[in-house]
Amino acid sequence: MIALLLRDLNLAMRAGGGFGLGLSFFLIVTVMVPFAVGPETELLSRIAPGVLWIGALLACLLSLDRILALDWEDGSLDLLATAPLPLEAIVTIKSLAHWITTGLPLVLIAPVLGVLLHLPANAYLWIFVSLLLGTPALSVIGTFGAALTVGLKRGGLLLSLLVLPLYVPTLIFGAEMARRGASGLSTETPMLLLAGISAASVALLPFVSAAVLRINLR
């Protein structure tokens, strides 16, 4: 399992669709928003949590088609499906690799980019915590979408259309948690809901993704 995780991490770093692309897109979104809405500090502070969450979500979306497509193209996916390691574990490892190379860097860079949006001082911790709780769900749900579209030519657009509606609850509760934290309100309810979404996704979706992969590989 560790060898597979290290292999996927190396592939993500070299394929150009993980670490660098996601961070670059996140930076571009954050830099462009002040030009679009104006330099008003109060307005930027109010919308900053939502903008950071949308940027992180879209940055994760960019690299989803790479999760399984590279293994499909070189035939590695067929070999992995016949390996002693359960397909559910393989899907889980690929989700973890995507989160490490895409989700985790976004979690770490978001408070830094919040400076560009005049994020309130008391919101930095909450944007970090909300992304830390929510981005695992984005990776696991994205892996499920990648399993549905694996093998399809130009399946990237279809993958985005399938995954985006599933991302909406995570976006709502993640942004609401950061917004409440910035306003000094209680964050307990959105935090619990966000953690519940991530926990349920991690517990259930690898089995669904593995079942979908078995069907596609027949």
Report the 10 Å Cβ neighbour count for 102. 31
* Tens digits of residue pLDDT in 67-98: 887 777 777 777 777 777 888 888 999 899 88
Q: For the whole prediction, is pTM greater than 0.85?
A: yes
Q: Is 17 helix (H, G, I), strand (E, B) or coil?
A: coil
C-alpha to C-alpha distance for 25 and 167, rounded to whole angstroms: 18
Chain Cα centroid distance, residue 173: 15
User: When comparing pLDDT for 18 and 61, which is higher?
Assistant: 61
The count of domains in the chain is 1
Task: Find the domain containing 193 and state its range.
Answer: 2-217
Nearest to 130 by CA among 57, 46, 25: 57
Each residue's pLDDT tens digit, 93-141: 989 988 998 899 999 999 999 998 988 888 899 999 999 999 999 999 9
DSSP string covering 152-200, please?
-TT-HHHHHHHHHHHHHHHHHHHHHHHHHHHHT---HHHHHHHHHHHHH
What integer pLDDT is reported at residue 199 of this predicted model?
96
Which tokens hold the place of 112?
A: 């830094």
Q: Give the number of other Cβ atoms within 10 Å of residue 6's Cβ.
A: 12
